[in-house]
Amino acid sequence: MERIEKSIEVRCPVRTVYNQWTQFEDFPKFMAGVKEVRQLDDTHVHWHAEIWGKDKEWDAEIIEQVPDQRIAWRSTTADTANAGTVRFEPLGPDRTRVNLTMEYDPKGVVENMGDKLGVLSGRVETTVKQFKDFIEQRGAETGSWRGEVRGGQKTS
């Protein structure tokens, strides 16, 4: 698995930033290539995106979610192996650092070449910048989910 790590400072409180990140269905508003994300239940989401010029769909499971701290996920579809964690670090009352780590398994010649050229790394960099712009311009989240998930199971 390849690994990408990006972080960005956002001029909003950690609660606001975290709450917005829980709104998975809003991801197409700031994630390049993502066409649709559907929340299936508290711990499962369905993705539809264009990756490496191809339309792909996959399911993912949220394996850990702690309000205002972190969200971790992994795909449950074998041909689109990926996983990640987003961590939220308060830097003050109105500033938050977002740390995004993604792991993925490039398949085939096109994906491996794109990986070597840093295409996905650039896309992830764009995602964190566009998320920052999205939440800072709004100044408030579009919604929230404050539940907790441990080991893929909702605990609260």
Mind listing the pLDDT tens digit of every residue in the chain (156 residues)? 788 899 999 999 999 999 999 999 999 999 988 999 999 999 999 999 887 778 989 999 999 999 999 999 999 987 778 899 999 999 999 999 999 999 887 665 545 555 555 567 788 899 999 999 999 999 999 999 999 999 888 886
Contact by Cβ (8 Å): 23, 29: no
Q: What is the pLDDT of residue 32?
A: 84
Q: How far is CA 10 from CA 92, 107, 123, in A?
A: 11, 33, 18
The vertex-74 CA angle with 26 and 16, nearest 5°, equals 35
Residue 33's pLDDT is what? 87
pLDDT recorded at residue 53: 78
Residue spans per domain, the chain: 2-154
Q: Which amino acid is at 147?
A: G
pLDDT score for 122: 82
Coil, helix or strand for 120? helix
User: Is 58 in a helix, a strand, or coil?
Assistant: strand
Question: Which architecture does CATH list for 2-154?
Answer: 2-Layer Sandwich (3.30)
